[in-house]
Structure 1
Amino acid sequence: MTVEEATPTAAPLATPVPAPAPAPASAPAPAPAPVPAPVPAAAPAGIRRRAAGDPVKALLHRHRDLCERAVDPLEIAAGLEAHGITDRTAARFRHRDVFSLAEELYARTARTETPGAATGLLPREVTGGPRALRGLGCALLPGALALGAAAGMPFAATAAALAAVAALVWPGRAAGGRFPWLAHLLAAAVAVWAAHRYGTALAVALALAVAPGHVAAAAYASRARRRLAASRALEDFADGARPLLAGALLGFTAAAAGAAAVAGAPLAQALPLALLLFLTRLLLRHGAHRGPLVAALALALVPFPAAAPAAAAGLLVQAALALSRASAHARP
């Protein structure tokens, strides 16, 4: 018997089986996902305007005096333009142009009285009544004095020249402020100096041109006011106002040429002076600044043959710019 046979064979080692893991404790159920809150519907335009502030109300408060004095939306539109508000600015107030913005301002302005029937679209000097008669009488007075000058009455030429200036450049909306009468005194000096230099015939020609100038200025104001009433944008009014000014100037120039022919005055001296005084009347009556007027009238006093034509040309440029604005045609 061998040793290997005597030694018993060792039993194989058993592989340990891991104990089953204890069952995990029951986990809490997951919380339900939060339900999103309903999105509120968009607020109406009126509510959004009140929430963000009412810009038209702020503008109404800023220009309350203008809105309370106005008798129609056109005056408000002209006043807004004078304060620098254009159609592009009106878009910030949710309006397509200044005219629609003025209509809202006019509708939202509280008034204690209704404007009278005399406040219509036409300017006051062409609506009839005593004021229109006084204006016509002042326009005819220089012609009567001119007849006296032609008859050889002493000092009639100077009186006719002064009356012509008084009738042509009577104070308009530009009167007031510092030195309100400076432009009128310079206009009188221009007429008297011209009559002294060129003789009685020139004074008579200027005096005879007053009545046509009065009619041309009144007709221009009336047509410009109607154009303003029919316009829906500032650019639209400006495009239509320039031909009206050109027509008024051509009509007056033709009448002044006829007056110079009747009086026997040379056209080279009579027409520039008559046109200068007529442009001065238009600019003063429509509220233009007096600075360019004073400069042009002072230039006309220079004893140089081209002084009066240069002054008239300068005022013509200013008139083309100033009288194409709606603010120039608001009532005084």
Structure 2
Amino acid sequence: MQRDPAAAGIHRHVVHGLQVASSIELADLARADPDATGIDVEIIEGDVPASLGEQAVIRDYWQAHADQLLFEAPGIARYLVSGGRSIRFEPSADEVRDDHAIRVYMLGTALGALLHQRGLFPLHAGGLATPSGAWLFTGHSGAGKSTLVAWLHRRFGWPILSDDVTVVEDAGGRLHARGGIPRLRLWRDALAAMSVPEDGLVRDLLRFDKFQLSLDSGYEGRIPVLGLVLLESVDDGESSLTRLRGHEALATVMGSVYRPEFAETWRPPGSLFLDGARIAAGMQILKFSRPRSLADYDRHLEPLIAGLVGTSIPRPGTAPADTNAATTG
């Protein structure tokens, strides 16, 4: 990279196992180990072109050409993601600078594009590092991913791997994940159910009733992945946990890919599907349905907890349970 990470004004962070050097502080990311060497990603403020030229592939809000992706968040900033190694941003000149909004798109769309440029496999899933390994949770917006991660974290003390995006990698035939962005974004009803006050919390940029809780530290290192849970909320009835196999399991993985439109831009044809098939075959895929209301939430989680850790619930530092024996379906 071109910049000296020790230079004044350069902030060092780590996310998804990548060492990041940034010209602006990214408070949402974990700080890098002071002894860490090397830089995987550089984030710098500077001039960003308005177009990638006539040969660019143009989509609704972004354009791509060769190893670059360009997009603009109107009134906030324009971003250029290049080669899986750099993100350049230019704040909008006609608006009052909003660093919080700049970071939201930096760590969302821009980082997602960079992960795909590097050939990684990001899932739109939160995750927890249990004593047995990592469990990931996916589902449509409003299915309760962040609420579930926060609830299990508070109940059992399991470290939060990621709130929204988790990168899964195949290392020698075994699936692993690394820590993502150490934060939680929770709706107002979830905060109330967990008796967390709203005072001092940052509101979500696009959703007024959602709040961001930054964590003191994220999960460090790499952890084996045990499974992916598809969350489904229903209006009434009892909770249930089922095992998905074959086409349903693969469809769950492929439907959880974060920003798949970016993957198709840089990956060889068919490679995303092949990687998804390997990932679906390498871990348990479950579906957990529960009532939409948070009333009696602990009771409704019982089938899920039994499926994750068995009939006995280990605390951090205790022997892992046999997770395979507890799943149903």
Tell me the TM-score normalised to structure 1 length. 0.24
> Whose relative contact order is higher, 1 or 2, with alpha carbons under 8 Å and at least 6 apart?
1
Q: Answer 1 or 2: which has greater strand percent.
A: 2
Q: Answer 1 or 2: which has greater helix percent.
A: 1
Tell me the TM-score normalised to structure 2 length. 0.25
Higher radius of gyration, 1 or 2:
1
